[in-house]
């Protein structure tokens, strides 16, 4: 493949990220998402996970029509916030029943709720962004599947319900 100078310049996005006043080292870059740790309450800190997903929030919409309105349409107003379940995946370790022990504490209307911290780290291991899940508790655990002809790592999945999340920076 032969690249013309015009196409090479359009592919070279690094030149557009840094301004004339700053070097490439001083440019602001998006954070990579592969280095993170999770605190599952005060007892279990810096727990390594393979994947964290489902950190979302959505406001339901109320449609309302005033009787005095001359417009033949509804007004839309925000309703209560709805938080999605957060899914955590991690490898299975010998004699580590952390998920199962927490899940087994669920009884009728009683559960040990925790504050969970999900921390995005920079290259130096410092927290750059943090998601705090309030009043979190496990709703579902999926154990690893077993295959005699497989060569993958055993992975457990836990789904966490929570009432709010707060995002803070560094």
Task: List, for residues 44-54, the tens digit of each pLDDT value.
Answer: 888 889 999 99
Q: Which residues of the chain have pLDDT under 50?
A: 1-18
Count CA atoms closer than 13 A to 25's CA, side-chain side.
Answer: 0
**Which domain range does residue 41 map to?**
31-62+75-169
Question: Is there a domain that residue 13 lies in?
Answer: no
- At 25 the pLDDT is 62
pLDDT, residue 115, reads: 95
Flag whether 119 is in a domain. Answer: yes
Give the model's pLDDT for residue 104: 85
CA distances from 158 to 40, 94, 130 (A): 12, 17, 20
| CA gap 27, 104 in Å, rounded | 49
What is residue 24's predicted lDDT score, i.e. its pLDDT?
57
Predicted local distance difference test score (pLDDT) of residue 73: 81
Q: How many domains does the structure of the chain reveal?
A: 1
pLDDT of residue 10: 41
What pLDDT is recorded for position 32? 83
Q: Is residue 128 part of a domain?
A: yes
pTM: 0.74
Residue 106 lies in a domain: yes
Strand partners, 47: 38
pLDDT given for residue 116 in this prediction: 95
Instruction: Give pLDDT, residue 117.
Output: 96
In a domain, residue 68? The reply is: no
CATH (domain of 49): 2.30.110.20
> Residue 23's pLDDT is what?
59
């Amino acid at each position: 493949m032969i690249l013309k100078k015009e196409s090479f310049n359009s592919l070279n996005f690094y030149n557009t990220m840094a301004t004339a006043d700053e070097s490439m080292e001083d440019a602001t870059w998006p954070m990579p998402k592969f280095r993170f740790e999770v605190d599952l309450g005060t007892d279990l800190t810096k727990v390594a996970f393979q994947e964290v997903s489902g950190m979302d929030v959505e406001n339901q919409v109320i449609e309302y029509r005033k009787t005095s309105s001359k417009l033949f349409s509804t007004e839309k107003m925000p309703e209560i916030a709805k938080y999605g379940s957060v899914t955590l995946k991690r490898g299975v370790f010998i004699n580590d029943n952390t998920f199962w022990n927490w899940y087994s504490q669920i009884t009728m209307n009683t559960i040990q709720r925790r504050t969970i911290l999900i921390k995005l780290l920079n290259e130096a291991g410092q927290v750059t962004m943090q998601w705090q899940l309030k009043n979190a508790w496990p709703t579902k655990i999926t154990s690893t599947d077993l295959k005699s002809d497989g060569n993958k790592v055993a992975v457990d999945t836990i789904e966490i319900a929570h009432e709010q999340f707060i995002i803070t920076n560094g």
